[in-house]
């Protein structure tokens, strides 16, 4: 090859490299170097990298999803953090990705949400610890537009059969656990985090949810009832099977916790009147003629209770009673049930407010 051809080849190579460099620079450059308008960009807990990059593209914060994916892989900036970030179109693509991977430090607190709490309890907990208005929190759990937003990120919400009789639509879906919350968290932030944890439980047990003849809402409703009745996983599985058997045979569930929830009292806060026991509403399974499950969950069930419903054994039990020590006695007939109660009375293991299902 003569010197003239070598020079032409080098010039051509330089032109290609220059074009490639210019192309890359274009893709990493700010969308608008002069636009400092703040865009609040939210990454939901458990959201995939693909979804995050698609959302950045939709928001007009990056030019090309594929180039950004390549950059994320090569730069090892793939540890996106959940939260809400202030981004602008004057930020370069690498700056945006770095921000989503290394958020500015914020003050946080650790907060445990015990199992068996209701929406009203979680709202009060958030008001006391994070200064979130309890009424705003409760209202959001019934806000259909917000629920529709959640459904876009969380399959457990998208596949849930909500109904108009539910007192709080997100009741039972605010997962009990220990969390770290930013001190400046909003009600929306907190609910997203709690529902995100519920969604993780749902997706990690998806095969069992799909195999159950109960709907997602019915599983969470059963689990919330089981939560208040007994303590061990084995006991919860048996009680779940009793409720399932009674539903199948058209026998009222007669669960006290549903009666208390229907009139918005906490379980055991006081004795119920006859009128309250018989009050007809969408939750009271002791009301005359009430068959099947209440309109929705009556609290946030623990993982143990959810798994108890998913793993319930096949039994012929239709009744159970608790004794003073917390042990339960399941029986198949009412005669056996009454005989157990008589024996517990004789043995000093009975107490007047013992919970029973009959």
- Cβ neighbours of residue 79 closer than 8 Å, sequence gap 6 or more: 101
- Please state, in angstroms and as integers, the Cα–Cα distance from residue 48 to each residue in 18, 79, 153, following that order: 34, 10, 10
Element (H, E) at 178: strand 177-182
Q: Are 41 and 55 in contact (CB under 8 A)?
A: yes
| Residue 357, token pair as written in the block | 């299902």
- Please state, in angstroms and as integers, the Cα–Cα distance from residue 138 to each residue in 119, 142, 348, following that order: 7, 7, 43
- State the angle between helix axes of 3-28 and 93-101 in degrees (0 to 180), rounded to the nearest 10: 50
Go through the domains of the chain in sequence order and give each one's CATH number: 29-101 (3.30.1490.480), 108-204 (no CATH), 316-358 (no CATH)
- Please state, in angstroms and as integers, the Cα–Cα distance from residue 286 to each residue in 117, 277, 317, following that order: 22, 6, 19
Question: 333-343: per-residue pLDDT in tens?
Answer: 999 999 999 99
Query: Residue 220 has what pLDDT?
Result: 98
Q: Could you tell me which residues are beta bridge partners of residue 111?
A: 179
- pLDDT by residue for the chain (358 residues), tens only, comes to 555 445 445 444 444 444 444 445 666 788 887 788 888 888 887 788 888 989 989 989 988 888 888 888 888 877 888 878 888 888 888 888 888 888 766 677 899 999 999 999 999 999 999 999 999 999 999 999 999 999 998 999 999 999 999 999 999 999 999 998 888 889 999 999 999 999 999 999 999 999 999 999 999 999 999 998 888 999 999 999 999 999 999 999 999 999 999 999 998 788 889 999 999 999 999 999 999 999 999 999 999 999 999 999 999 999 998 888 888 999 999 999 999 999 999 988 886 544 455 5
Query: Residue 86 has what pLDDT?
Result: 85
Q: Are 301 and 115 in contact (CB under 8 A)?
A: yes
DSSP, residue by residue, 222-276: HHHHHHHH--SHHHHHHHHHHHHHHHHTT-----HHHHHHHTT--TTSSPPPHHH
Between CA 150 and CA 252 the distance in angstroms is: 34
């Amino acid at each position: 090859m003569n010197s003239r051809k070598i020079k032409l080849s080098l010039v051509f190579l330089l032109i290609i490299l220059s074009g490639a460099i210019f192309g890359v620079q274009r893709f990493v450059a700010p969308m608008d170097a002069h636009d400092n308008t703040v865009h609040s960009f939210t990454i939901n807990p458990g959201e995939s990298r693909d979804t995050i990059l698609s959302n950045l593209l939709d928001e007009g914060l990056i030019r090309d999803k594929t180039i950004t994916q390549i950059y994320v892989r090569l730069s090892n900036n793939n540890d996106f953090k959940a939260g809400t970030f202030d981004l602008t179109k004057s930020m370069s693509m690498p700056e945006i990705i770095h921000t989503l991977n290394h958020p500015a430090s914020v003050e946080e607190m650790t907060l445990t949400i015990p199992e068996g709490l209701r929406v009203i309890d979680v709202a009060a907990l958030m008001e006391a610890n994070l200064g979130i208005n309890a009424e705003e929190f409760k209202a959001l759990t019934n806000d259909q537009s917000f629920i529709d937003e959640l459904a876009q990120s969380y399959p457990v919400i998208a596949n849930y059969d909500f109904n108009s009789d539910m007192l709080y639509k997100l009741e039972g879906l605010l997962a009990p656990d220990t969390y770290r919350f930013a001190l400046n968290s909003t009600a929306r932030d907190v609910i997203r985090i709690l529902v995100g944890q519920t969604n993780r439980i749902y997706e990690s047990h998806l095969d069992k949810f799909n195999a159950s003849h109960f709907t997602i809402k019915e599983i969470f409703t059963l689990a919330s009832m089981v939560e208040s009745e007994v303590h061990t996983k084995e006991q919860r599985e048996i009680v779940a099977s009793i409720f399932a058997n009674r539903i199948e045979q058209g026998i009222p569930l007669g669960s006290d916790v549903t009666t208390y929830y229907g009139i918005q009292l906490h379980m055991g806060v006081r004795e119920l009147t006859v009128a309250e026991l018989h009050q007809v509403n969408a939750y009271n399974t002791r009301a005359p003629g009430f068959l099947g499950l209440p309109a929705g969950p009556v609290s946030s069930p623990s993982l143990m209770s959810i798994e108890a419903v998913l793993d319930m054994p096949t039994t012929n039990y239709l009744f159970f009673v608790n004794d003073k020590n917390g042990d339960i006695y399941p029986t198949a007939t009412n005669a056996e049930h009454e005989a157990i109660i008589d024996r517990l009375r004789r043995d000093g293991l009975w107490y007047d407010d013992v919970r029973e299902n009959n």
